[in-house]
Amino acid sequence: MDDTDLLKRITINPVIFGGKPIIRGMRIKVENILALLEQGVTIQELLEEYPDLELDDIRACLAFARALVANESIEAINSEAAQ
């Protein structure tokens, strides 16, 4: 799965966490996953802690962070309108 496909897993909805990037519309923030990885939580531990999370969701978080740091386009992210 390439970065464009991975980034499609990240969504932004203004009514969920004030529009912060989340994973596949779930109430799991990208920043939380990145923070847990930073603290040393393993990918396996994340998958066990969040049973709805998939390996590609974690990869999507990393792709999102890399794209932001590299100042690259993140157009693939699905921005949902407020309802």
47-65: per-residue pLDDT in tens? 999 999 999 999 999 999 9
Going across the sheet that includes 10-12, the strands are 22-23, 10-12, 78-79
Q: Assign 3-class secondary structure to 11-38.
A: EECCCCHHHCCEECCCCCEHHHHHHHHH
DSSP conformational letter for 77: S
Q: For 17-50, write each residue's pLDDT tens digit.
A: 999 999 999 999 999 999 999 999 999 999 999 9
> Please, what are the domains in the chain?
3-79 (1.10.10.10)
Query: Regarding beta strands 22-23 and 78-79, do their DSSP bridges make them parallel or antiparallel, or are they unpaired?
Result: unpaired
pLDDT at 83: 47
